[in-house]
């Protein structure tokens, strides 16, 4: 596998870009592996990479039912932050942030990780108090946070309407300067290339249709490309978790599948140089390097496996965008799409051993799983390799609901559509 | 998406508030079996396909209705009233 560098770019330019190597192989599935990862999204690929790199487990297959990157890893709005309040979440997401900071070098693949800051707007004094509390909680955990007044916000984000002539005037905000965005496709491709380099087989167009069991123990998978066995099988299928787990005989989980939409506008000259979120409704917006504004908001709000959304959210999101940035009123949208979220009952993830022997589960990412990709892969690899969670994911259990130890970051109660 | 309210007729889904899975059954208040409560509060079948769910017609007659909807196609195959007002289907 050749390294990417300025030199390789020049060399390949001189030969008309005809001689670039495949980024990862396309192997036939073998009958047996040490570990099978079901789901070739960001999390599955990162898990395989860290299994090989950190734990020396290289006889690994990642089985992906479609093409690589066709799931949520290629559908998200790429926001990365670690501005949580519950210690278990803060520590986990901060670990992820630190991995992001070294990821392009680690993978020798440009993630276009851009720490342009994430600014959450506040519209009431009560919200400002809550932000001050959150910021302090972050600082106590060693995470960066800045409380901004409205003058500072208006200085930093010139297009934002900060006047009083609106229903929810902005009174301030909370900024995490190290937050930002990354190129989502590069994350999938970079981890795939990194895992492949260690000998991991990435097998696309291979759907897991059932599980092979010996008693309760899961010993292999049935796929559209034949049966494959392994003593350890990790499930990392995001919005399809319930469907796949049903095939293993697990009929109920603390998860509902919901659709989240994303929107991209026609390209503009540089307008927004940070990530901004509206605090009186739900909208997050940033500008891609190609100039398009990338934004999204709430879930459509009802169980869905359709990778497309409906118009009411479209209208809501567009209204919030124009409220914040009135100069967008005549902007045209280029495209929109939806992705299926594995919404957990408390809004926090699950990375654990089980629920069956031989099985490991990574799920419940809601709409925050992109920023988690490095740490989720890192922790899931540890959990699979050591048969026990790392301290960073020890609280992300399936049993926490039963035990009354939910991580209800938003305080929304057991309503997945409201997380 | 259009949901046909038994009182008000066909109305845009945005007039309704989604409540959730209609197959969960609240245990009796004196029941202290943790499994039953865990099941009711946290566990869901989350089917891909036919789903029975509650919606409330909040911007209309405020009735709770049970909707049978496909979670892949969003096709609605039935709407009935829920609660003490539930009526036997006369057809
Ligand atoms: C519109 C939208 C916006 C978002 N915005 C953000 C954001 O700004 N910040 C953030 O942090 N997160 C965001 N997210 C969430 C984030 O994208 C997800 O939480 C994360 O990508 C999920 O992990 P993944 O990458 O492994 O999922 P996926 O890429 O969905 O991977 C799961 C894979 O499993 C495969 N699979 C399913 N069933 C089977 C089977 N039976 N056999 C084999 N393979 C199977 C699927 O094909 C899929 O490729 C957003 C999501 C969406 C949809
Ligand atoms: Zn009605």
Tens of pLDDT, residues B31-70 = 999 999 999 999 999 999 999 999 999 999 999 999 999 9
Position B90 pLDDT exceeds 60: no
Q: Which residues of A123-150 are buried (b: 16+ CB within 10 A; e: fewer)?
A: beeebbeebeebbebbeebebbbebbeb
Rounded to 10 deg, the angle between the A42-55 and A369-386 helix axes is 40
Task: Ligand 1 pocket test: pick from A42, A64, A72, A234 the residue with the most ligand atoms within 8 Å of its Cβ.
Answer: A72
How far is the C-alpha of A63 from the C-alpha of A116, rounded, in Å?
34
Site to probe by mutation for ligand 1, drawn from A226, A228, A367 as the one with most ligand atoms within 8 Å of Cβ, is A367
pTM: 0.96
CA gap A158, A113 in Å, rounded = 23
Q: Which residue has the tokens 């567009």?
A: A318
Answer whether A419 contacts ligand 1 (Cβ < 6 A). no
Task: List the structure tokens of A135.
Answer: 């910021």
For ligand 1, is residue A370 a contact (CB within 6 Å)? yes
Q: Is the CB of A309 under 6 A from ligand 1?
A: no
ipTM higher than threshold 0.95: no
Confidence tier at B86 by pLDDT (50, 70, 90): confident
DSSP A2: P
- Structural element, H or E, at residue A88: helix A87-107
Query: Six-digit token pair at A419?
Result: 């997380």
Q: Which helix (H) or strand (E) holds A62?
A: strand A60-63
Strand partners, A339: A260
Which of A29, A57, A73, A35 has its CA nearest to residue A374? A73
Partners of residue A303 on adjacent β-strands:
A258
Give the per-residue pLDDT at B88. 57
**What gap in Å lies between CA A388 and CA A208, rounded to an integer?**
25
- B34: nearest CB among A256, A303, A402: A402
Domains of chain B by start residue, with CATH: 2-25+37-81 (3.30.2270.10)
**What CA–CA distance (Å, rounded) separates A149 from A338?**
35
- Residue A189 C-alpha to ligand 1 middle, in angstroms? 14
Residues of B with CB under 8 A from a CB of A: 1, 12-14, 18, 20-21, 34, 38-39, 41-48, 51, 53, 55, 69, 71-74
Low-confidence ranges of chain A (pLDDT < 50): none
At residue A81, the pLDDT reads 97
- Which band of pLDDT confidence, cut at 50, 70 and 90, is reported for residue B91? very low
Give me Rg for the CA atoms of chain A: 22
**Among protein residues, the one whose CA lies closest to atom 37 of ligand 1:** A237
The per-type count for chain A, helices as H runs and strands as E runs, is 9, 19
Buried b (16+ CB within 10 A) or exposed e, A185-200: ebbbbbbbbbbbbbeb
Residues of B in contact with A345 (CB under 8 A): 41-42
């Amino acid at each position: 596998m050749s390294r990417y560098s300025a030199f390789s770019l020049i060399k390949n330019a001189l030969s008309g870009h005809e001689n670039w190597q495949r980024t990862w192989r396309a192997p036939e599935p073998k009958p047996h592996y040490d570990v099978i990862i079901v789901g070739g999204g960001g999390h599955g690929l990162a898990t395989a990479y860290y299994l090989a790199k950190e734990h020396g487990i290289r006889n690994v297959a990642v089985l992906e039912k479609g093409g690589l990157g066709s799931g949520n890893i290629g559908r998200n709005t790429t926001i990365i932050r670690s501005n949580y309040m519950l210690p278990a979440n803060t520590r986990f997401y901060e670990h992820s942030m630190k991995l992001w900071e070294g990821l392009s070098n680690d993978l020798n693949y440009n993630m276009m990780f851009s720490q342009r800051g994430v600014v959450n707007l506040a519209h009431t004094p009560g919200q400002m108090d809550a932000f001050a509390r959150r910021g302090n909680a972050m600082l106590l955990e060693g995470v960066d946070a800045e409380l901004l007044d409205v003058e500072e916000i208006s200085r930093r984000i010139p297009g934002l309407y900060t006047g009083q002539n609106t229903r929810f005037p902005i009174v301030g905000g909370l900024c995490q300067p190290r937050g930002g965005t990354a190129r989502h496709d590069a994350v999938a491709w970079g981890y795939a290339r990194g895992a492949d380099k260690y000998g991991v087989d990435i097998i696309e167009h291979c759907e897991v249709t059932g599980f092979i069991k010996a008693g309760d123990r899961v010993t292999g998978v049935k796929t559209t490309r034949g049966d494959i066995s392994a003593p350890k099988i990790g499930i990392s299928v995001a919005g399809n978790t319930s469907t796949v787990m049903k095939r293993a005989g697990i009929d109920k989980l603390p998860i509902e599948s919901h659709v989240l939409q994303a929107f991209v506008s026609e390209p503009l000259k540089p307008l927004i140089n940070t990530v901004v979120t509206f605090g009186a409704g739900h909208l997050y917006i940033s500008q891609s390097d190609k100039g398009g504004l990338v934004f999204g908001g709430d879930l459509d709000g009802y169980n869905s496996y359709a990778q497309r959304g409906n118009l009411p959210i479209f209208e809501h999101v567009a209204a919030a965008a124009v409220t914040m940035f009135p100069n967008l009123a005549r902007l045209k949208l280029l495209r929109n799409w939806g992705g299926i979220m594995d919404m957990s009952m408390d809004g926090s993830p699950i990375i654990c051993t089980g629920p069956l022997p031989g099985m490991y589960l990574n799920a419940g990412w809601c709409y925050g799983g992109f920023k988690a990709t490095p740490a989720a892969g890192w922790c899931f690899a540890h959990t699979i390799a050591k048969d026990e969670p790392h301290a960073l994911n020890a609280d992300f259990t399936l049993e926490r609901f039963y035990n009354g130890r939910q991580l209800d970051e938003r305080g929304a109660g057991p309503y997945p559509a409201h997380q | 998406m259009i949901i046909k309210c038994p009182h008000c007729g066909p109305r845009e889904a945005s007039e309704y508030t989604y409540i959730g899975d209609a197959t969960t059954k609240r245990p009796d208040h004196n029941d202290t079996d943790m499994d039953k409560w865990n099941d009711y509060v946290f566990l869901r079948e989350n089917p891909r396909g036919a789903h029975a769910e509650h919606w409330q017609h909040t911007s209309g007659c405020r009735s709770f209705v049970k909707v049978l909807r496909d979670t892949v196609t969003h096709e609605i195959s039935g709407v009935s009233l829920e609660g003490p007002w539930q009526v036997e289907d006369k057809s």
